[in-house]
Amino acid sequence: MIDTLVFDMGGVLIRWDPAGIVARLGVTGDDAALLEREVFGDREWVALDRGTMRAEEALAAFRSRLPERLWTAAERCLTWWRDPFWPVPGMEALLREVSALGLGIYLLSNATAALHGYFPRIPGADCFAGGVVSADWKLLKPQHEIYETLYAHCRLDPGRCFFVDDSPANVEGAERTGMAGTVFDGDMARLRRTLRQAGVPVEA
């Protein structure tokens, strides 16, 4: 019996779009491709989510690889969450429906510790009872240790949980620790069908 849902954040609760973040800064053309690659596509971003690098260190690394004209934009990329979010359509309604059914709702996200400050701005955030943020524990999905940390920290039974993430590797990692899940591709109707098949009585 599923009595708890666990959600990823980026790509699930809100749209995660590095190219869109760069475009919103007014950077275009070759500069946009360069900025996106050097900020979001290199090892520093992973280290930030793991909590093993400070933002100041990452920014210094970005600046070492970028022309000076892009330094301010790189710094803005590090604080992307200060701009309005792009909520995933239909997700807030699903969260509130699941909450009204009495199911527990938890977060499991690869993110920096800054998440604690901006998470309340995400539509439906008030439905969450808790969760695990990767940087707090120096772990990343799909390491099995981060799932085990979630179960222990939030006192969850993985056999009664269902995980929603946009990464196949992360869902596979959850399944290896006993938590069923599904890969979310933005199709809310499909997600609702999958939840119903798992025994969660949400509307079709």
Residue 197 has pLDDT above 90, yes or no: yes
What does R_g of the chain's alpha carbons equal in angstroms? 18
Asked whether residue 56 is assigned to any structural domain, the reply reads: yes
User: How many distinct structural domains can be found in the chain?
Assistant: 2
Tokens coding 142: 């799909």
Residue 195 has pLDDT above 90, yes or no: yes
For residue 184, report the phi and psi dihedrals to the nearest 5 degrees.
Answer: -90, 125
Asked whether residue 204 is assigned to any structural domain, the reply reads: no
Q: What is the pLDDT of residues 30-65, one digit of tens each?
A: 999 999 999 999 899 999 999 999 999 999 999 999
Q: Give the pLDDT of residue 204.
A: 85
Q: Residues of the chain with pLDDT > 90: what percent?
A: 99
Q: What is the mean pLDDT of the chain?
A: 97
Indicate if 109 and 75 belong to the same structural domain: no
Indicate if 26 and 126 belong to the same structural domain: no
Model confidence, pTM? 0.96
Asked whether residue 162 is assigned to any structural domain, the reply reads: yes
Q: What is the pLDDT of residues 119-160, one digit of tens each?
A: 999 999 999 999 999 999 999 999 999 999 999 999 999 999
Cite the DSSP H helix spans in the chain: 18-24, 29-40, 43-50, 55-65, 71-78, 91-100, 115-118, 134-137, 144-154, 168-176, 188-197
Asked whether residue 135 is assigned to any structural domain, the reply reads: yes
Domain's final residue, options 31, 52, 82: 82
Asked whether residue 57 is assigned to any structural domain, the reply reads: yes
Are the CB atoms for 45 and 58 separated by under 8 Å? yes
